[in-house]
Structure 1
Amino acid sequence: MAEKLHVSLVTPEAKLFEGEVDQVVAPGSEGEFGVLANHSPFMTTLAEGPVVILDGTSKRVFQVRGGFADVSEDGMTILAESAEEYLETVH
């Protein structure tokens, strides 16, 4: 079984997501980046754009506007100035 990445996505108002996932793709101020379990530690500012959280066949997308991403040995924390989850509609 592959290792999982612990991820928290929080805003000043609420914790929007917390869990163990396969991968996160986020809009860094220097460009889009991806994080898997055991990634080297780093911190970066976030640009406006989608944060995509992937786990197996599950995909959740949050639109973030500014903030920071911190990757450590414990996982990834996204501190967004504001964020909203995209909800897919089924036709």
Structure 2
Amino acid sequence: MALHFELVTPEKLVRSEEVYMVVVPGTEGQFGVLQGHAPFMSTVKDGALKIYRTEGATPEILQVEGGFAEVSEKGLTVLADRVIEG
């Protein structure tokens, strides 16, 4: 089973996809989210958001600045103040 992941900024929906795992830079420390994770909310600090498309894959890294992350039964949504792609 895959994790549904959405990355959103105030301007646009940056990503909406099925992935294996995402590691989020939370203000209390980074945390990884897999399918079936317990419901959870956290603030996001500036740092590297790591997206693993498959188990054991090299992560895609996006820089995010601030925001919130919510894990629910629907998956993971990161509401970032800003995303620096590329």
TM-score range, shorter chain: over 0.9
Aligned to 1:26: 24
Aligned-partner Cα distance in 1 for 2:78–2:70: 6
Once the two structures are TM-superposed, the CA of residue 22 in structure 1 deviates from its matched residue by: 0.3
Once the two structures are TM-superposed, the CA of residue 58 in structure 1 deviates from its matched residue by: 5.8
Runs of 4+ in 1 over 4 A off after TM superposition: none
One-letter code of the match for 1:76?
A: L
**Given the two structures, how large is their TM-score scaled by the length of structure 1?**
0.87
Change (3 A) 1:22 1:11: same
Select 1:36's aligned residue among 34, 46, 62.
34
Query: Are residues 1:68 and 2:80 paired?
Result: no
Deviation larger for 50-59 or 40-49: 50-59
Aligned-partner Cα distance in 2 for 1:81–1:53: 18
Q: Deviations over 1:29-60 (max 9, x none)?
A: 00010000000001000010010110123632
Unaligned runs of 5+ in 1: none
Once the two structures are TM-superposed, the CA of residue 16 in structure 1 deviates from its matched residue by: 1.1
What CA RMSD, in Å, does the superposition of the two structures yield over aligned residues?
1.1
Aligned to 1:9: 7
Matched positions, count: 84
Determine which structure has more spread, i.e. the larger CA radius of gyration: 1
**Given the two structures, how large is their TM-score scaled by the length of structure 2?**
0.92
Unaligned runs of 5+ in 2: none
The percent of aligned pairs where both chains have the same amino acid is 48
Aligned-partner Cα distance in 2 for 1:5–1:67: 20
